[in-house]
């Protein structure tokens, strides 16, 4: 089952530097990639997520010459997560979380990548960069700015971590409750995905 199917094309910088584009750079999304949603109740914290991805998909970034009306580096493609695969490490909470997200009617969380302000260097030290995405949940779409942290794991593998704070109410949803309202989930959620990418030469 594949959660990432998107192609992006990017001008290749020699050694991932800021030089002129020379071709395409493609990456394979590794199984160790993950997505998680963190939140709070009036009693404690909770975390729901998908721990890994079953298949490796190819990602390519688009170069500046293809930007058109898009600022920065334009992106093309989407990340699709099956909500039915989420695990909150608690059977009751998992069921309530999926029910709140209306997963039977809208079975997927979709993140469409729109742009990055610049191409990350993917150097040995963490680097922050912003980008635009469109998040679709329960039939509602919201375009938001995403904060990314990029880094390099080894000579051919890089990591791109995206994070954003959202609310159930952003998508017209009511936070779940348990035990007749004695346990209430806060409206605000922290979404994070970690892409582990291996370069294809």
**CB-CB contact of 34 with 7 (8 Å):** no
Domain carrying residue 172: 4-200
Segment 7-53, tens digit of pLDDT: 233 332 223 333 333 345 667 777 888 889 999 988 889 999 988 76
Rounded Cα–Cα distance for residues 111 and 142 (Å): 10
Alpha helices in the chain (DSSP H): 91-100
**Structural domain count of the chain:** 1
Rounded Cα–Cα distance for residues 93 and 36 (Å): 15
Query: What pLDDT band is residue 70 in, cutting at 50, 70 and 90?
Result: low
Angle at 146 between CA 140 and CA 5, to 5 degrees: 70
Count the neighbouring beta carbons within 10 Å of the beta carbon of residue 190: 14
Q: Compare 17 and 173 and report the one with higher pLDDT.
A: 173
Tokens of 50: 């998908």
Q: Is the pLDDT of residue 107 over 90?
A: yes
Q: Is the pLDDT of residue 60 over 70?
A: no
Q: For a pLDDT cut of 70, what percent of the chain falls above it?
A: 75
> For the chain, what is the mean pLDDT?
77
CATH at residue 146: 2.40.128.110
What is the rounded end-to-end Cα distance, in angstroms, of the chain? 25
Q: Compare 190 and 69 and report the one with higher pLDDT.
A: 190
Residues 174-201 have a mean pLDDT of 82
The residue among 171, 185, 187, 164 whose CA lies nearest residue 36 is 164
**pTM listed for this prediction:** 0.76
Count the neighbouring beta carbons within 10 Å of the beta carbon of residue 124: 9
Residues 152-167 have a mean pLDDT of 87
Rounded Cα–Cα distance for residues 84 and 51 (Å): 13
């Amino acid at each position: 089952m594949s959660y990432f199917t998107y192609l992006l094309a990017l001008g290749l910088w020699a050694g991932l530097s800021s030089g002129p584009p020379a071709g395409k750079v493609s990456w394979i999304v590794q199984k160790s990639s993950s997505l998680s949603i963190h939140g709070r109740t009036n009693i404690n914290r909770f975390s729901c997520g998908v721990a890994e991805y079953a298949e490796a998909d190819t990602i390519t970034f688009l170069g500046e010459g293809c930007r058109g009306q898009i600022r920065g580096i334009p992106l093309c493609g989407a990340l699709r997560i099956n909500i039915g695969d989420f695990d909150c490490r608690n059977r009751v909470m998992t069921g309530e979380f999926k029910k709140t997200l209306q997963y039977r009617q809208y079975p997927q969380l979709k993140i469409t990548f729109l742009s990055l302000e610049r191409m990350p260097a993917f150097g040995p030290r963490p680097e922050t960069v912003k980008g635009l995405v469109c998040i679709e949940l329960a039939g509602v779409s919201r375009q938001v700015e995403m904060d990314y942290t990029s880094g390099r794991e080894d000579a051919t593998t890089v990591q791109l971590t995206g994070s954003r704070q959202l609310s159930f109410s952003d998508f017209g949803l009511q936070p779940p409750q348990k035990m007749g309202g004695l346990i209430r989930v806060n409206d605000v959620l922290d979404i994070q995905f970690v892409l582990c990418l291996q370069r294809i030469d």
